[in-house]
Amino acid sequence: MFEHQKKYEAFIREQGVGQNDKVADSCKSYVSYLNGVEKHANIRINAKTLASENDISVIVVKLHESHEVSDRTIGNYVSAMRQYVNMVNQSAPHLSIKFEVRHLLQMRMNILRWCPIPKSFAWARI
C-alpha cells in the first residue's frame, strides 16, 4: 500500500477515472498499477519519490531494466503515476514548478517596487 492511497482513489474519481466503466473498476486498476510499480521498481511511492515527470522517467527506466513487465503494462503504470503526480502537485503546490516560477516573479516585482533605481540608471526606467 502506497502513501496516500485513499486520497489517491478519491482524487482519480474526481478526475473522472472509471466514470464510464461497465465491467472493470479503473480506480482499482490504477491502485494496483501503483502497487505494481512499488513491487517491480523496488521503491516506496510517496510525495518525495513521485512528484514530477522526471520521477516518472526514472521509474520507467528501472521498470525497463527489470525485464519483469511488458511495455503495455509500463504504459498503464505511467498513466497511474501521472495521476499521482497531479494529486501531489495539486495538494502541495510548493512542489509545482509553475508555482515556483510565479513565486520568484512575484519576489522580483516586490524587490523592484521597494528598491529605488539610482539616478545613474534612470534611463533604464524608459
pLDDT tens digits for range 46-101: 999 999 999 999 999 999 999 999 999 999 999 999 999 999 988 765 555 555 66
DSSP string, 38-61: HHHHT---STTTSSSHHHHHHHHH
Can you tell me which residue has the cell 512542489? 95
Provide, rounded to the nearest whole percent, the portion of the chain with pLDDT above 90: 55
Residues 6+ apart with CB under 8 A from 60: 74, 77, 78
Confidence grade of residue 110 (pLDDT, cut at 50, 70, 90): low
Residues, the chain: 126
- What's the gap between Cα 11 and its chain centre? 13
Can you tell me which residue has the cell 526514472? 58
The ranges assigned to domains in the chain are: 5-92
Mean pLDDT, rounded, of the chain: 82
